[in-house]
Structure 1
């Protein structure tokens, strides 16, 4: 975009055009982080920025600074759309003694307890007539499907698009149309991060979040986005209504397994896991408060900190090889089978493709025979 502005002289245009580049990102709240993250176009992984805060940060502020040797302005609106916000945490720990067959045994005691706790909270919340909707966020799609399956097995009237919506990255265009049609009619919204982007469910005052224990940098950023999914307005009986002036509630669930080799190490293993849980919850709270207040109100040595999880930067390929497309297809088939495990045809197609491609050789070579036009490939090394 900067190159486009330079090419057409839009930064100081003599013909009267007042062109500006506007970047909207709720997670970037500090000018130093903006400069550090965006001034260079080099590839970077997901990461967490942190900085100390010395001055008072206002709910609404505008700060001038220089970006890429050009005048820039950062506008921050630190807030949360509610009258009061109540945050609750539920922690699940399970201790196991290590055995050679531990990882072969498929015991789901901890995840079952977690799912039962979420279902119990959903039923408790919806028992009150003023609670019209509840959002349930689980990043693991297989766990999300297991959670949906439990009430379906005990209640045959619990059906999709009538009682709940299921939102994930594999939703088809037809699914997205149904989501738009029924979003204000269902009571429960089950979602993952990638499927929920751009959506809002203003009837929801309760958001239940299963904290992922993997890829912490990216998932903290997604959690911050998810907790804002219950904002905006909706129509009821011809009247425009909002819940942004009412109390709202966030419930976080975190589970951890404590595995020890012998009884002497059990206590130490438990303490290490508890420390991991505390560290993750501190990061989570500080990241959320940075978005809401402008800084995390956790005093560490009498200092306040900005905790800002940022997604990585990368360059995606325009084209895609046939083998790459087949790999993506197999991955999608396997993921879909985990969600719809009754559809055995998905597993059969995936296995057949793996078997077929396993017997195939792919030869990669350049189309242009002129060596001057051929870049060096790692395949030639």
Structure 2
């Protein structure tokens, strides 16, 4: 029951998989609005940060990860497609943030390299990690049924295609051009989908670009952040044209992850149907660092728990309602979330199946 805006066009075809939340805000309780920090801190912890270098509690993804850690190789995986190896908002104590993999190659290495002294990544990419398990792979294919053989073949083919891209193209660490960031992001999305389907992890975090982003269009002398503050609002359209285009290109990062999950079939459903992907920004109106109307999204079926395709209007309610909703859809045994005015026991029932 929602329509695509210019910034969300990359979701076309997936609208029924995504719920959109608007009109929610951060309640400060006397704390300052710290630009590019308060928004994400409040969404993830349920309270506005009192410091510009730490959150006032754990980000809820780490709580979910701890609950699910027993069933996977990695408790969680963190990604920074922009190439910033320190860009992360995932924290179990508010002070130390989980370090991300900042290139597709770093993520590939985490997932597939054995990290032994004799493991040479350049050789691994050229010969394929699949060569190291050739006998086991052949035995598995013989034992599998027709449908499972088809799925295994798709997986092995996908791994080899990504290896070919990493070995031949050598995607650079991302620079400020948005196309480079999205190229890294798409490769990471495909690798992450493989990691999920093989149960390497149950939780992942992605920070597409830094909050004071210099991400720019080709031949553009100003970055995204500068455009949001300095560009005039088009009198006819009612929005900042270049900033809107950069927002659309940035949002493709979220859409690419959804499509990577949607492309993996699991019986009559997809990996996306068995996943919940929470996406959000750090501000509602970047020109003034507003923390009202922060855009938030929930995508995926969450194993049938998410009634997706909805638009929920918050009418000024705290963003912590969406955070509580996400945690409950993930099966967390909690009835409330947040601190002070942000404390809530009201999940968004509109999206609960």
Q: TM-score, normalised by structure 1?
A: 0.27
Structure 2 length normalisation: TM-score? 0.28
Q: Which has the higher strand share?
A: 1
Structure (1 or 2) with the larger CA radius of gyration: 1
Q: Which of the pair has the greater relative contact order for Cα pairs under 8 Å at 6+ separation?
A: 2
Structure with bigger helix share is 2
